[in-house]
Structure formats: C-alpha cells, structure tokens
Structure 1
C-alpha cells in the first residue's frame, strides 16, 4: 500500500475523477462537472486524491458545511457557506484501488485535516447500501427532521443520514 499516495484533488484531475464517478454511481447520483469543480475549489475543502504510479485511483469530495444541511446532487456550492461540520459528499474508487484500503485512507486523511482545523463532527449521506461501510469507519445513522429526510431521499431509496465525531472512533 506504500505505493499509493494521498494528496490534494485538483482541477487537472477532473477528467479522471469524472470517469471514476461514472463507474461508481448510478446516473441520478452523478455530479456534473461544474458542481464537481465547485467542491474541488471550495475554500473549506478537504478534497483528496489517491494516486498509484501517478494515476488517479480514488478521490474524496469533502468540505466544511452548515450542520444538517446536505447540498443536493448537482448543487454548485456557495463558497461562503458556514463551516460548521465536515460534510463528506463523495468517496469513489477505481477498480485498481480495490483491496488496498484506499477509501479508509482518504476518509482518515480528510477527517484528520478537518479536526486539525477545528471541526468536531462529520456528516454524510450513505448511498446505494453503503451504510455498513461507513459504520466500520465510525459513522452512525442519525435521526432527521422531515426537511432533512426529504433532502436525504433525493440521494435514493437506500440513502441513510450518518454522522460521527472527528475524534477517533
């Protein structure tokens, strides 16, 4: 695993990241390029890349965001939005990353950077049956308001609202 490097996701990674995203998600969860770039460019961003031999094999889109207010798929982020929690928007891996624990490393790096910056909690919407994976990483399913439930439902029938403190799980 030492041959996998974690660094900042950049605009130059967009073509490869969009290819990974398209292979990882059903069409209704695909972010258009402009929304994807708004996450990469967000001033409170924690968007990271996993590379093997210089090739992008995975990424995480994460950013500071208002608590309990996940942006809808395709939303272009407001760079001035409050930075109350770390919102993990997307984690996607290429087939070349499978079995290397790349997802865990990307999540851990984003959580640690946000914790160092003073954030104390992370939130996400687990999609397509991924809640079990996120539970292994310390996230728990959380209660929602009717308004939040409606936002989560926009991510599909299997979507689950989850959160965790940024201290070690």
Structure 2
C-alpha cells in the first residue's frame, strides 16, 4: 500500500538516492542543502516521500517563501520565510517504478492542496531538464512578471533553460 509521509531529516539518504536516479549531475544537491530546505519549513509538513512496501519511490520538497525569494540550487542555508504567499516546489523526483503509478501527479496535487490549506496564493517552481511542458500540464505557466536581479541570479544557478513557473491558487 502506498504511503505519503512527511519527509524528516532521517529520510535524506532516500531523497539523495532518488535524486541520483532522476537528475543529471549538474542538478544533484548535497544532503546539507536538503536539510536546509527541510529546516526552513520545519513543522509545516510540505515535503513528502512516497513509500510502498518499504521502498521509497518518489519525493517532493517544498517550502514557503517570501515574495521574490527562492533558494539557489544546492544552497547550504535558507532563512525561513517571514510573510509567505508562495509555496515553492523546489524538487520533485520520481523513480521509474513510481512513474508507472503516477506518483509525480499525486505529489504535485499534495503540494497544491497543502499550499491552499496554508492560505497561500500560489505555488512556484523552477522547471529544468526540459520539463516545462510537464509543469504546464499541471497548471503552471512561465512567469511573465519582471524578475529582480537577485532572482535572475538564483535562477541562473539552475543552468540555462531554467524557467520560473507559477500556478495561482483558489482559496479553499
């Protein structure tokens, strides 16, 4: 039976193993970076690990962010948001076995519902590795708003072709 559990720091080795199955070497983040993201959203329960029969199959890491802020790729520290309106979906990784079960779709839905429960107005992400069309199918659109210099610099940490995307939420 499939279980979605809130990711704790004890799950970081599973996250790193799944990440290695799904991303090219230029996108691999350290354990320290994942712990920083989890700590920035401590007690908010917005990152999940999909496990079936004891086997981790997929994860999503998200955290609330202040307007115009997002953590750079492999950021070793992240300050918790002060007045967030956005849940930033930082990372989604689904193993081949998890793809057959549509776990990516389930985890994205979980994040959207969590953001609505938190009273946030949008979910944002950075699309990489040619994934823009995937995110568009989930209701995300490329950000058309002008970006600050700091945000452009952080977006550049994700490599060429990285696209900031947003999905507006309707209140629950």
TM-score for both structures, normalised by structure 2: 0.88
Structure 1 pair 16/120, CA: closer, same or farther in 2 (3 Å)?
same
Are the equivalent residues in 2 in contact too, given 1:112–1:166 (CA < 8 A)? no
CA distance in 1, matches of 2:83, 2:93: 25
Are the equivalent residues in 2 in contact too, given 1:29–1:155 (CA < 8 A)? yes
Residue 65 of structure 1 corresponds to which residue in structure 2?
65
Whether 1:84 aligns to 2:85 is: yes
The CA RMSD measured in Å over matched residues stands at 1.7
Deviates more, 1:7-16 or 1:115-124: 7-16
Deviates more, 1:15-24 or 1:77-86: 77-86
Residue 37 of structure 2 corresponds to which residue in structure 1?
39
1:15-164 → structure 2 map (5 Å cutoff): 15-41=13-39, 42-43=41-42, 44=44, 46-75=46-75, 76-143=77-144, 144-145=146-147, 147=149, 148-164=151-167
TM-score for both structures, normalised by structure 1: 0.90
CA distance in 2, matches of 1:67, 1:45: 20
1:62-117 deviation digits (Å, cap 9, x = unpaired): 01001222210111221354422100000001122122110111111111112111
CA distance in 2, matches of 1:98, 1:71: 27
CA distance in 2, matches of 1:104, 1:134: 10
CA distance in 1, matches of 2:45, 2:84: 10
Deviates more, 1:112-121 or 1:139-148: 139-148
In the comparison of the two structures, how many residue pairs are matched? Answer: 166
CA distance in 1, matches of 2:73, 2:152: 15
1:16-47 deviation digits (Å, cap 9, x = unpaired): 11011122112222111111012223234511
CA distance in 1, matches of 2:131, 2:45: 23
Deviation at 1:155, TM superposition (A): 0.6
